[in-house]
Structure 1
Amino acid sequence: MSANKPLTIMLSAGESSGDQHAAHMFLELKKHLPDIRGIGMGGAVMRQAGIDIKVDSSSLGVIGLIEVLKHYREIRAALMRMKALLQAERPDLLVCVDYKEFNLKLAQFAKKQGIKVLFYVSPQVWAWRSGRVLTYGKAIDMMAVIFPFETAYYEAEDIPVRYVGHPSVDKVRPLHDKEEDFRRFQLDPTKPVVGILPGSRMNEIKRMLPVMLGAAEKLRNDHPGMQFLLPQAGSIDDRVLQDYLQQTAVPINVIKNQPYDVVQCCDAVMTTSGTASLEIALLTVPMVIAYKLASVTYWLGRILVKTPFIGLPNIVAGKAIVKELIQHEATADRLAEEIERLLSDQAYRQAMINELQAVKEKLGEGGGSKNMADLALQMLRERQ
């Protein structure tokens, strides 16, 4: 590196959670290297952190074979732009954040260019296609994992790996106390509050929000005073959300940019799987997980996926502590039934809270973003 040229780190994140993880890690890195330059692919949170976004990923976060095929041209174009950016900029380090298949291809290309690769958030090799450990091992210089049990899969193949901790442990912090949030959101503390978390991707909204709103209608019919909160993901456009909300007579209080304050106010939550379910677990709020995929994707998953769970709280616990309603089971009736039980069956409710507390303890004290920044700093110094 030239003494006059600032260090450059390139980050690649294709989904809302990755956008946040990359942003927090970059802000921690800047504490050590104030002049470091960040470029790459991401969304609004990375841009706010000072990263120069060359490829906007806000429409790229899709899950499932059919969904990926529908967006194939857009995803391929983004990959080509990122490869061109790698060649033009030749960053001192490429940090691939989640978005597994896309980032694997980008990492493989970077490796051929002699650019160091740090992969953040391991593919779920413990769930399916464990042979991918070797594939990723050939494309990276370091794998940073967010669950402690993941290191063994890489160590077994002599692939450099570091457990950095889950970034959500640090991130999941309400901005206000619960009593203040009740005032701010104009909630009645004598009536139950139910959270609706339909996901941060457009295809999740399309499949899950109508079902969740249907459940809300059933619950509201039985409990006229029940209150509903929906924390709007930054990746979801206002107009898209309103198109669905206008189709229900149930009053839904939509709150922007305060997901943890919303969740802490809830007596129970219906949520999609993924990072959101783990964040609800960290707040120890009872929940039900529901998810739908395209039929082809679902049946392929049934064949290929080895883990019996899709919800991260259950995966971390190693047992079913939260009800999962998948595909044909994800109906308004079943969702309403589970929420009703979480609100009325105190023994059932408390047992889940206790198990969620155990999950929180398993994830440790946090420091994920700082540990990740320290690891990136170490690799940058080795590069010089």
Structure 2
Amino acid sequence: MSEFRQSEQPREVMIVAGEASGDLHGAHLVRSMLARDPHLRFCGMGGRELQAADVELLADAAKLAVVGAVEVLSHLGDILRARRALIERMRDHRPALLILIDYPDFNLLLARKAKQFGIPVFYYISPQIWAWRSGRVRTIKRLVDRMAVILPFEPDFYARHGMEVDFVGHPLLDSVKPGLSPSEFRSRHGIGADRTLVGLLPGSRRKEIAALLPVFLEAAGRLARDMPRLTFLLPQAPTVSRALLDQHGLAAWQERLDIRVITEDRYAMMAACDAAMAASGTAVLELGILGVPTVAAYRMSPHTYWLGRLLIRGLRFFSLINLIAGRDIIPELLQDAANPDQIAQETRSMLIDQARRQAILAGLDEVRQQLGGPGASDRAAAVALSLLAERGAHG
């Protein structure tokens, strides 16, 4: 029996996600809420995952998933249309609850409108205001009724600003599950048990691939000079064309190295790796959850880098693994340091220096323990539904 009283009449909940990860985590949250109260109905903004969870999409998040000032300006019409559609729905139908997922510049404006309409606001997955623009915590405190965070250091950050939040754990612990064992993955892809596997994960955005894939391939070439029997695994996301990978070096290097392009079994591929080099971001955390020693690397335009240094102050690390641990667990290489020699050197060390390797594996296990265990979506659903019940009882 549900711990929440089910609604006699359907109540509408609006959920807004602006990026692929938010779309995925939002879909898990919707399913967890419906499992507890099947009388709810959902509308909002997202992508394929939220649509598959039976959310009525008022706006397509794929049209808004842009980075950089030029890209934002070129998509301004889409952004304004999406904002208008969501605000009109809030004004005309007054959802019982607004759920916002990350995406702060867009979502905080919606939170402000929700306040005007008397709609309670649940923010799931905090924007990274602990990294930059921390002044926005005052806006969040004023506009948000409940917030669920997914990183273990975030409750302390908000507490320092006089705001209590709910730590629900990281939703990746529910989704990062290999469908195959490492030996099954090797067998499926015709890779011998004697091969050492190194992952190459340059990111899924065009700019990331352009910046990092050539560097990773050069690093792979250096590794292969003095380490025999290496196989390199390169995942190809559905949004990335093979032509793009070939353009940035894959075609040339495949003639010299054993590189396998993997289009399925993404988490099984990651789990099978003995080590990896990856663009700093979600993939590094996924690899950490799977216990894979990883070199986190990132390169951006000099202008963006120096602007970032002005905006982001006081952070010792840029990878989530090290941020969560509060110390060096995996090597981080940024800008000029993210070069083929250093990446190859760090990767080689993680493969052959057993003392260092064991220290990294122990650190990754420590981080995994801090992430809260499986069930983040269920815990977030409990927070959302308690807010819904509380507001229903008072209004």
TM-score by length of 1: 0.90
Alignment of 1:40-189 (within 5 A): 40-58=44-62, 60-63=64-67, 68=72, 71-189=75-193
Q: Is the 8 A contact 2:230 2:258 kept in 1?
A: no
Q: Report the Cα distance in structure 1 between the residues aligned to 2:332 and 2:225, rounded to whole angstroms.
A: 24
Deviation of 1:251 (Å): 4.7
Q: Is the 8 A contact 1:144 1:372 kept in 2?
A: yes
Deviation of 1:68 (Å): 4.6
Deviations 1:24-58 (A, max 9, x none): 11111111122422222222222222223332223
Unaligned runs of 5+ in 1: none
Q: Report the Cα distance in structure 2 between the residues aligned to 1:237 and 1:117, rounded to whole angstroms.
A: 39
| Counterpart position of 1:291 | 298
Unaligned runs of 5+ in 2: 1-6
Q: Choose the corresponding residue for 2:33, options 26, 29, 44.
A: 29
Distance 1:37 1:234, change over 3 A: farther
Q: Is the 8 A contact 1:133 1:153 kept in 2?
A: no
Q: Which moved more, 1:313-322 or 1:177-186?
A: 177-186
Q: Is the 8 A contact 1:62 1:201 kept in 2?
A: no
| Counterpart position of 2:324 | 316
| Counterpart position of 1:345 | 353
Q: For 2:133, what is the secondary structure of its paired residue?
A: coil
Determine if the alignment matches structure 1 residue 254 to structure 2 residue 261.
yes
Q: For 2:123, what is the secondary structure of its paired residue?
A: strand
Deviations 1:150-173 (A, max 9, x none): 223334444352111111122222
Alignment of 1:161-240 (within 5 A): 161-223=165-227, 225-237=229-241, 240=244
Determine if the alignment matches structure 1 residue 265 to structure 2 residue 272.
yes
Q: For 2:134, what is the secondary structure of its paired residue?
A: coil
Q: Report the Cα distance in structure 2 between the residues aligned to 1:339 and 1:54, rounded to whole angstroms.
A: 45
Q: For 2:95, what is the secondary structure of its paired residue?
A: coil
Q: Which moved more, 1:177-186 or 1:245-254?
A: 245-254
Distance 1:139 1:330, change over 3 A: same
Q: Is the 8 A contact 2:198 2:231 kept in 1?
A: yes
Q: Which moved more, 1:267-276 or 1:248-257?
A: 248-257
Match for 2:303: what amino acid? V
Deviation of 1:118 (Å): 0.9
Q: Report the Cα distance in structure 2 between the residues aligned to 1:108 and 1:374, rounded to whole angstroms.
A: 24
Q: Is the 8 A contact 1:165 1:368 kept in 2?
A: yes
Distance 1:196 1:71, change over 3 A: farther
Deviation of 1:284 (Å): 1.3
Q: Is the 8 A contact 1:19 1:45 kept in 2?
A: yes
Match for 2:317: what amino acid? F
Q: Is the 8 A contact 1:47 1:53 kept in 2?
A: yes
Deviation of 1:201 (Å): 3.1
Q: Is the 8 A contact 1:284 1:357 kept in 2?
A: yes
How many residues end up aligned between the 2 structures? Answer: 382
Q: Report the Cα distance in structure 1 between the residues aligned to 2:82 and 2:258, rounded to whole angstroms.
A: 39
Q: Is the 8 A contact 1:273 1:291 kept in 2?
A: yes
Q: What is the RMSD of the two structures over their aligned residues, measured on CA atoms? A: 2.5
| Counterpart position of 2:363 | 355
Match for 2:262: what amino acid? I
Deviations 1:50-109 (A, max 9, x none): 223332223543455566556555444443443344334432222111122222222222
Deviation of 1:8 (Å): 1.9
Distance 1:338 1:137, change over 3 A: same
Q: Report the Cα distance in structure 2 between the residues aligned to 1:196 and 1:52, rounded to whole angstroms.
A: 37
Deviation of 1:286 (Å): 0.3
| Counterpart position of 2:3 | none
Distance 1:58 1:197, change over 3 A: farther
Q: Report the Cα distance in structure 2 between the residues aligned to 1:173 and 1:229, rounded to whole angstroms.
A: 18
| Counterpart position of 1:282 | 289
Q: For 1:58, what is the secondary structure of its paired residue?
A: helix
Match for 1:367: what amino acid? G
